[in-house]
Amino acid sequence: MMRKVLIAPSILSADFSKLGQEIKDIEKAGADWIHIDVMDGHFVPNITVGPVVIKSIRPFTKLPFDVHLMIDKPEECVEAFVKAGSDIITFHIEAQENPGEIIKLIKYYKKKVGVSIRPKTELKAIEPILPMVDMVLIMTVEPGFAGQEFILDCLPKIEELRKIFNKDIEVDGGVNESTASDCLANGANIIVAGTSVFGTKDYASAIKRLKGGS
């Protein structure tokens, strides 16, 4: 089955002094989802945004908010992220001893649930919960910062996952035109991109190129 390719620009690389306008511009440029990186300075060595910022940008677009939680104890914050306007909530398996609980909680709020794995985490860590999630987010850099280089060793993991998982596979980290096409060829269908979209002057062409257009 051919899956529709979706592009989820990561606002981590946007200009935060005019975030509302950046979101409007990226929607106009053809973005499908807005990817929001939440970091707590514990799970990853960086601190970004939380529910307050998500709530303040919610009126600027109707596109789904794809919220990537790189935080410890994500289950304690699910309600706040739901109320702020999240549509898809992704937690890290490495931050969760009891993933069944947080999955139930996200579903209770009728939101889509994703699970993410770091580059060094093997697929077997998430295999038991695959039937319970809507999406797997495969990190292709160590989570924490935008602008890093794509780790090519992650490609076989995408291919392996596609053999056993027929829902959404999202890739995140160091994705540009060339690595996006590798990810799509290996079975991913959702592309997160920070630098390769917000780092350019023409967002629409950048999105088109990531989708495989010229």
**Residues near ligand DX5, by CB under 6 A:** 10, 12-13, 35, 37, 68, 141, 143-144, 146-148, 172-175, 192-196
141 binds, among Zn ion, ligand DX5, none (CB under 5 to 8 A by kind): ligand DX5
Q: Is 182 a catalytic residue?
A: no
Could you say which of 25, 37, 40, 168 is catalytic? 37
Interface ranges with Zn ion (CB under 5 A): 37, 68, 172
Spatial distance between the Cα atoms of 144 and 13, rounded to a whole number of angstroms: 12
Partner that binds at residue 59, options Zn ion, ligand DX5, none, CB closer than 5 to 8 Å by kind:
none
Helix (H) or strand (E) holding 140: none
What CA–CA distance (Å, rounded) separates 156 from 56? 39
Q: Looking at beta carbons only, is 82 or 190 nearer to ligand DX5?
A: 190
- Sheet arrangement for strand 135-139: 6-9, 190-193, 168-172, 135-139, 112-117, 88-92, 65-70, 34-39
Q: Is 25 among the residues known to form the active site?
A: no
Nearest approach, Cβ of residue 106 and Zn ion (Å): 17
- Distance of alpha carbon 95 from alpha carbon 189, whole angstroms: 25
* Tokens 């495989």, located at residue: 212
Q: How far is CA 166 from CA 88, 130, 170, 197, in A?
A: 17, 10, 12, 27
At 2, is the secondary structure helix, strand, or coil? coil
| Gap between the Cα atoms of 118 and 76, Å rounded | 21
134 vs 177, beta carbon nearer ligand DX5? 177
Residue 41 binds: one of Zn ion, ligand DX5, none (C-beta under 5 to 8 A by kind): none
Least spacing, CB of residue 70 vs Zn ion, in Å: 7
Closest distance of CB 53 from Zn ion, Å: 15
Closest approach, Cβ 214 to Zn ion, in A, equals 27
Residue positions annotated with a catalytic role? 37, 172
